[in-house]
Amino acid sequence: MKIICVGRNYAAHIDELNNSRPDAPVIFLKPDTAIAQYNLPFFIPEFSKEVHYEVEVLVKINRIGKHLQHKFAHKYYDEIGLGIDFTARDLQNKLKSKGLPWEKAKGFDGSAYVGKWIKKASLTNIDKLPFSLYKNGDLVQQADTSLMLWGIDELIAHISQYFTLKIGDIIFTGTPAGVGPVAKNDLLEGYLDGQKSFSLNIK
């Protein structure tokens, strides 16, 4: 399986990192080894002094798809989740400034944390799905999917023009504003559509 991530999909987050607004979705991949074990803590890697959390809505692909049209994209997933795209921001900034690929900063072991999956059919409105992240009990990120520059079905259609989607692939749909660093002993808690999605210790 592969992990397909979307960058710069919320206007307020683009502004907080002083990035420019893209005219097409920004896409990058993480290897399957980036998937974090659901029940284990996240271990801050030694090569970074500034690992950031980015809470994101996740989509799990359930059919093989290629060159999909927007109107058919909804048939290619029936589970939605919430996760964290852990990012070694110091390393990413260094790589970005040299025009180099981000993989070391974005695709390291454990960098793709996946919370509980929820059946799409049980969610009220996928196009306005609220989600939030708390760090040590404080609300740090809060948004809903209507604030995405490209919605889930548009992303699936776009991604499938370049990468064949396979069963089990996970799409990280981008993070809203409020990203920030994690430190040892932090507790991250995510909520999707009012339900607790994960509780994650940082080590």
Q: How far is the CB of 75 from Zn ion (least distance, A)?
A: 26
By CB under 5 A, tell whether 175 contacts Zn ion: yes
Q: Which is nearer to Zn ion, 30 or 160 (CB)?
A: 30
Element (H, E) at 198: strand 195-201
Q: Which amino acid is at 12?
A: A
Yes or no: say if 168 and 76 are a contact pair by the CB < 8 Å rule: no
Q: Classify 43 in phi/psi space as left (phi over 0), alpha (psi -120 to 50) or beta.
A: beta
On whether the CB atoms of residues 26 and 101 are closer than 8 A, the answer is: no
Least distance to Zn ion, CB of residue 143, Å = 13
**79 contacts Zn ion (rule: CB under 5 A):** no
Q: Nearest-CA neighbor of 14 among 165, 171, 149, 104?
A: 149
**Which residue stretch of 46-54, 62-70, 140-148, 156-164 sits at the interface with Zn ion (rule: CB under 5 A)?**
46-54
- Answer yes or no: are the C-beta atoms of 78 and 121 closer than 8 Å: yes
Please tell me whether residue 16 adopts helix, strand or coil conformation. helix
For the segment 131-170, give every residue that binds Zn ion (CB under 5 A). none
Nearer to Zn ion, 65 or 174 (CB): 174
Single residue of 36, 54, 107, 118 touching Zn ion by CB under 5 A? 54
State the residue number with the nearest CB to Zn ion.
85
Interface region with Zn ion, contact rule CB under 5 A, candidates 45-53, 62-70, 77-85, 130-138:
77-85
Binding site for Zn ion (CB under 5 A): 54, 85, 175
